[in-house]
Structure 1
Amino acid sequence: MKNKKKKKSLFEKISTLSFLTLIPFVIFLIYVLTSVFRETNDEVELPKIMIKDIKNVRIAIDEYYRATGTFPNLELVNTDEKLEQIFFEQDGERIYFKDFLKESTMPSTPSYKDLPKTNKVTIVTSFRKPTNDGGWNYNIETGEIHVNLPENFFGQGIDWKSY
């Protein structure tokens, strides 16, 4: 009996070579897709967080107003003592805004793209010309508050100045 060495066909050689080059390509593709997914995930999660924060702040402002008859002076958030300074004194008892907000600090707009994280509150009389530099725009006379972010900031099509 003769031992014949079976020669690999051209197709088998190309198949093996293709498979070996395909492995690094697949690994690279997985890396790219996961990094894109992470960024997309931020673009989905951050607006959800902002919407939740807007609702919480608006509810706290409304409850504070119902309890005190005045809107909180959120401009004091920009000071060192922050929410500790926002209170209404009635019959020797202090009613703190932070108790309605149920947080020790004012929520912040997140660090994203070229804007830093900030919870600065800007007092405005009109919401027509926001500065879009993060934080909050607040009308102390009406209690209306909006996030101070550019339109479509997270790529979700949300006009933040009117939200």
Structure 2
Amino acid sequence: MKSNTIEKIALQIVTFTVGNEQCGINIMKVQEIIRVIGAVKVPKAPAYVGGVINLRGKIVPVIDLRKRMGKSVAEYTDSSRIIVVDTGNRLAGLVVDAVIDVINLNVNDIEACPAIDENSRSKYIRGIGRKEERLITVLNLDDLLIVSQGIL
């Protein structure tokens, strides 16, 4: 006799804060999380590109997620981190205010984010995830980094 239950697909999501917003990315894309270190500026790069860092001999572009997501700029604190992600063809660093935790999130608990306009940041948001009372903006790294990778 076949079961009618639908198998839930769970993702492990690294959650972090950007301003007052909780965001997350698939842990499978995360290579490591490091303290914020000084980045070398890149001429003519967009304002949200904080520069590049040398990570054990590899040059890694660093994206300030506050700037990329249109939030007010703030000084880095002891809680600020760079989440180093592997996009498959290169590494990139994402500066976040603080890393919170790793959660399991069923794909059924992620709702699509409606596109408001062409210039909206919703184009790099995979959806909004619900975990108990938390709402987590799940980012789509491929879309978030596409412009940055073309420049760096």
TM-score bin (small chain):
under 0.3
State the TM-score, normalizing by the size of structure 2.
0.25
Report which of the two has the higher share of helix: 1
Bigger strand fraction: 2
* TM-score, scaled relative to structure 1: 0.23
